[in-house]
Structure 1
């Protein structure tokens, strides 16, 4: 998984989602806009993050966050009880 570039700045942070409040669109194929990076931060539990171009699945935990590259199709899947938020960078 890639790391956030050093030259990007956070411009938005989502609310904290749980397994019950995660927006449906995040559970299915979607992507970020050109030049927009995402940083998935799990504060409790486990979340699976899958990149669809290469079909790689990453297990995200409070110790292991996830980086979403611009324009890369991906989806997430809660694994039981989870709390997470997403930071967006340009």
Structure 2
């Protein structure tokens, strides 16, 4: 049995005030890099720009970021979140 992938990097926990400006505008991961957005408290708007989708993330609802997929996030009120980065498709 193959072990589940583990993140090679995890961001610090951000809140609505410390969320970097770069996360709020269009950006993407590098080739071969997946991301998992985990909301710890509150809600976060996760917009994938291609193909277009708009999802409200909250604890228990993760946002999967595919390699090179343009996306952005925006807090919905008070929130706390982090991002995990993987070099293979994570088991979510």
Q: TM-score, normalised by structure 1?
A: 0.89
- Larger mean Cα displacement after TM superposition, 61-70 or 7-16: 7-16
Q: Give the CA deviation at 1:10.
A: 1.2
CA RMSD of aligned residues (A): 1.3
Aligned to 1:16: 13
- Larger mean Cα displacement after TM superposition, 40-49 or 7-16: 7-16
- In the aligned structure 1, how far is the partner of 2:57 from the partner of 2:47? 10
Q: Say if 2:88 is the partner of 1:87.
A: no
Aligned to 1:76: 73
Output aligned runs, 1:11-90, within 5 Å.
11-90=8-87
Q: TM-score, normalised by structure 2?
A: 0.87
Q: Based on CA coordinates, which of the two structures has the bigger radius of gyration? A: 2
Provide the aligned length of Structure 1 versus Structure 2: 85
Specify every segment of 5 or more residues in structure 1 that has no aligned partner in the other structure, as ranges: 1-5
Specify every segment of 5 or more residues in structure 2 that has no aligned partner in the other structure, as ranges: 88-92
- Say which SS state the counterpart of residue 70 (structure 1) adopts: coil
- In the aligned structure 2, how far is the partner of 1:81 from the partner of 1:9? 28
